Chain A
Amino acid sequence: MTLQQQIRANRFRTALVLLGFAVLVAALALAISVAYEPGLAGFIGIGAIAYGIFSWFFAGRMVAAASGAHRVTKEQYPELHRTVENAAIGAGMPRTPDIYVIEDTAPNAFAAGRDPKHAYVAATTGLMEKLSKRELEGVIAHEIAHIRNRDVRLMSLAAVLVGVIALVSDMLMRMTLFGGGRNREGNALTMVVGIAAMILAPIGAMLLQMSLSRRREYLADASAAEITGDGEGLALALAKLRDDHTPLHKVTRATAHLYIESPLRDHKGLRSSLGGLFDTHPPLEERISRLAEAGGFPAP
């Protein structure tokens, strides 16, 4: 798969995500209007469209706010800035992306934003402390690859759209289960429909989000190896992330897929009992061994 094909595939998938979002919102609106008040559906529809448009432009910033990432200057983090700059040059990007930092000891990183001109790379302080220069270069190159491959818009949009569906349906489920519905004494059937839709919506949202991740991680790893000319650096970094079990604090299901390595890997509560089905990332072992195979070095 060439870069151009990947970019095209991403555009197509972005359209699918938006469509999926619309369908889920419709399902949710239907469930709410059946269970509560028919007139609500129109308001929800208008609200969802407004939110969708807002998300298109501000998904990156919303993700930053949700994950506690703040923008830093070259002077504050010269080393990180240099690494990002060099990776951007290696990827042939005309502009160095903005740089954000998350104050957290867990080593992790992500990239988000609308397009290469409005994208940023975010790294935790733990990543900078725990990784060597070479390993950091690999991780940053992976994030730069996400930006160049136009993965960021899709991933950011998925985060904010899935996030809001999860939030709303969660709220509604509680309202249905613990009272507040006006038609409680009414038709039992409408209640069943309502509850079913409210359960299905978040599951659908999760599936939507998951459909994004796995192959693009492998592709970004391969691109990173090309950008730095050092696949082993990234493999060593991934091995370090594998062996580090510090939990990342500000993370939700909606933003988990953005990170270079799933921050929910060790999270018993959020990691579904369904196991692999809901994993947003391919196993680190597999990614490391693919890098090792392509680069001809022993897997760390």
Chain B
Amino acid sequence: MSPLLIVAAAVVALLLYVIVSYNKLVRLRNECAEGFSSIDVQLKRRADLVPNLVESVKAYASHENTVFTRVTEARAATLAAASIPQKEAAHVLMQSALTGLLGIAEAYPELRAVETFTALQAELSDTEDKIAAARRYYNATTRRYNTALDQIPTNVIAGATGFERREFFSIEDPADREPVAVKL
């Protein structure tokens, strides 16, 4: 084999490797985006439950205005948020506001007997579960994507083609930011 052929083969192999790695990064980036939109759907769904929840609690505890205002504000923040940090901030706000709202409900046994309220409460807790599930998927995917961006040699390809790190969404355990080795 002539040296030229060897060089040509090496160049082709390198090129193929670059293409495969690039495609992998694109795929991971898309998965992150899909994962985030799934969180977004659930955040909106939760925000949509707020007006009805407020209405039903108001019927029994109309004087608790600060709590209602907080929840309504959190809802507005959720709907207005555009970037990931904004959405995360709105999510934290909403969580504490809802905790306050449900805390009031605890104090009114007659409210807990109202069917519409218990149905709303069940739907709320289901939505919270879905947010948690979507968040887990998004954070796991983001971790994989960020790890790929850090690794040699994909980091060179990523740097040259403009891939950027993604931010985690409201992660509880700091250890979850670190890449994990899956043992099989």
Contacts and interface: CB of A to CB of B under 8 A. Distances in A.
Contacts of B48: none
A241 interface: no
A1 interface: yes
B77 interface: no
Interface of A is mostly: helix
Contact of A87 (B126, B133, B182, B184): B133
Interface string B93-137: 000000000000000000000000000000000100110111011
A82 B132 CA distance: 14
Contacts of A115: none
Interface in B65-115: none
A267 interface: no
Contacts of A4: 24
A89 B184 contact: no
Given A82-B126, A85-B130, A90 B137 contact: yes
A295 to B, nearest CB: 12
A218 B137 contact: no
Contacts of B182: 1, 222
Given A92-B34, A92-B35, A218-B184, A86 B137 contact: no
Contacts of A86: 126, 129-130, 133
A224 B149 CA distance: 26
B34 A90 contact: no
A4 B34 CA distance: 17
Given A1-B184, A222-B182, A294-B183, A90 B136 contact: yes
Contacts, number: 45
A214 to B, nearest CB: 11
B146 interface: no
Interface in A8-32: none
Interface residues of B, number: 19
A89 B137 contact: yes
B137 A94 contact: no
Interface string A73-106: 0000000001001110111101000000000000
A57 B13 CA distance: 38
Contacts of B183: 222, 294
B81 to A, nearest CB: 20
Contact of B184 (A91, A92, A222, A229): A222
A90 B134 contact: yes
A92 B31 contact: yes
B130 A92 contact: no
Contacts of A284: none
A226 B180 CA distance: 11
Interface in B131-161: 132-134, 136-137, 140-141
B38 interface: yes
A215 interface: yes
A157 interface: no
Nearest to A293: B183
A201 interface: no
B35 to A, nearest CB: 6
Contacts of A226: 136, 140
Contacts of A82: 126, 129
Given A215-B184, A222-B182, A222-B184, A91 B137 contact: yes
Interface in A145-173: none
A87 B134 CA distance: 9
Contacts of B24: 4
Contact of B136 (A215, A218, A229, A294): A229
Given A215-B184, A229-B136, A92 B129 contact: no
Contacts of A229: 132, 136
Nearest to A87: B133
A89 B183 CA distance: 24
Contacts of B133: 86-87, 89-90, 227-228
Residue in B34, B42, B130 with the greatest tally of chain A CB atoms within 10 Å: B130
Interface of B: 24, 31, 34-35, 38, 42, 126, 129-130, 132-134, 136-137, 140-141, 182-184
Interface of A: 1, 4, 82, 85-87, 89-92, 94, 215, 218-219, 222, 226-229, 294
Closest 6 CB pairs of A and B: A90-B133, A89-B133, A92-B137, A86-B133, A89-B134, A229-B136
